[in-house]
Amino acid sequence: MGAAVEIIDVARRFGAVQALAGVDLVVEEGEFFGLLGPNGAGKTTLISIVAGLTRADRGTARVLGHDVVTDYRRARRLLGVVPQELVFDPFFTVRETLSIQAGYFGLRNNDAWIDEILHHLDLASKADANMRALSGGMKRRVLVGQALVHKPPVIVLDEPTAGVDVELRQSLWGFIRKLNRDGHTIILTTHYLEEAEALCNRIAMLKAGKVVALDTTQNLLSGFAGLTVRLTADALPDAWRERVLRHEGTSYLLSLTSYAELESLLSALREHGVAIAELALQEADLEQVFLRIMKRAA
């Protein structure tokens, strides 16, 4: 297996903001790859550079070995992108939208494939409906269909489930998993970290335009073995403040290295006379790993 996407020393600045500060990344063929990071980390800029929507100030990006600038025609034919924004052309029906998108890639008379996409995305009954008449979830599915209409081996999904209800989200992931099993490389950005944990074999985390973590999902989880405590209390002793991963009002999320540390925490709270309203222990999940990595990279 070769590289589906190679990103070599890619940098991009927008005015005073360094959106990407020299990113190196290789996504292998057939991977289900997660690209995670807080808002403004540079995920969408990176995807836009790979898709040819944005130009890098320096560095190289390739799709299946084809440079996205010098060999853009081949690179773009090999890539399908589901954009983050819920955009559509209000002049056309669902079928026209898919047929026109296929035509942009030089594909004509491919009604059979469009029918198949409509069937898989449960849009067959809406094939002749105008895009304006669709619900948000249906429009999102049309976006997925548009990305698949030229059968690209590499598919990028930029926050595909933002604002999508739970049932559709599950169905969509079933569909995308199947695409991955059929050999398509999937690159996913999402804010739903439980989705990334369940779906992605490998994950890169970006912060302020840099890759701050890159490993298999399993290694990331085991590398940050430990516990978190979700605590609701009116205060927290100063000595424990550096363990805070997240703090909202009287609610704290703290990291512990082991169960033994829990007793130390409870002792400290008793010594300071802090009343505990609620306390819950959690095994490390990707959200905790993400928070720790982001905190470490701060």
Partner 1 sequence: MSTKLSTEMSASLTMEPMRHRSGWQTLLYKELLRFWKVSFQTILAPVLTSLLYLLIFSQVLESHVSVFDGRVRYTAFLIPGLVMMSVLQNAFANSSSSLIQSKITGNLIFVLLPPLSPLDLFGAYVVGAMVRGISVGLGVFLVTLWFAPIAPAHPLWALAFALLGSMILGVMGLLAGIWADKFDQLAAFQNFLIMPLTFLSGVFYSIHTLPPFWQTLSHFNPFFYMIDGFRYGFFGLSDIEPGLSLAVIAVSCGALSALTLWVLKRGYKLRH
Residues numbered 186 to 205 that lie near partner 1 (CB under 8 A) are none
* List of long-range contacts for 173-180, beta carbons under 8 Å, 24+ apart: 173/198, 173/199, 175/120, 175/121, 175/144, 177/32, 179/148, 179/155, 180/30, 180/32
Using CB under 8 A as the binding rule, the residues of this chain from 82 to 101 that contact partner 1 are: 83, 85, 87-92, 96, 100-101
CA–CA separation, 244 vs 228, rounded Å?
A: 10
* Alpha carbon distance 45, 135 (integer Å): 28
**Of positions 9, 13, 17, 53, contacts partner 1 by CB under 8 A:** 53
Tell me if 101 sits within 8 A of 108, measured CB to CB: no
CB 281 within 8 A of CB 235: no
Binding of residue 44 to partner 1 (CB under 8 A):
no
Q: Is 259 in the site for partner 1 (CB under 8 A)?
A: no
CA dihedral 142, 145, 150, 153 (to 10 degrees): 140
Nearer to partner 1, 100 or 266 (CB): 100
Of positions 8, 168, 262, 266, contacts partner 1 by CB under 8 A: 168
Tell me whether residue 2 or residue 249 sits nearer to partner 1 (CB atom): 2
Cβ nearer to partner 1, comparing 51 with 291:
51
Q: Could you say which of 9, 58, 65, 119 contacts partner 1 (CB under 8 A)?
A: 119
Q: Which is nearer to partner 1, 106 or 273 (CB)?
A: 106
Size of the site for partner 1 (CB under 8 A): 61
Span interacting with partner 1, options 1-9, 167-175, 221-229, 245-253, rule CB under 8 A: 167-175
Among 151, 191, 210, 246, binds partner 1 (CB under 8 A): 151
Tokens of 145: 């269909």
Give, in order, the Cα–Cα distances in Å from 3 to each of 67, 97, 206, 248, 274.
12, 31, 20, 42, 54
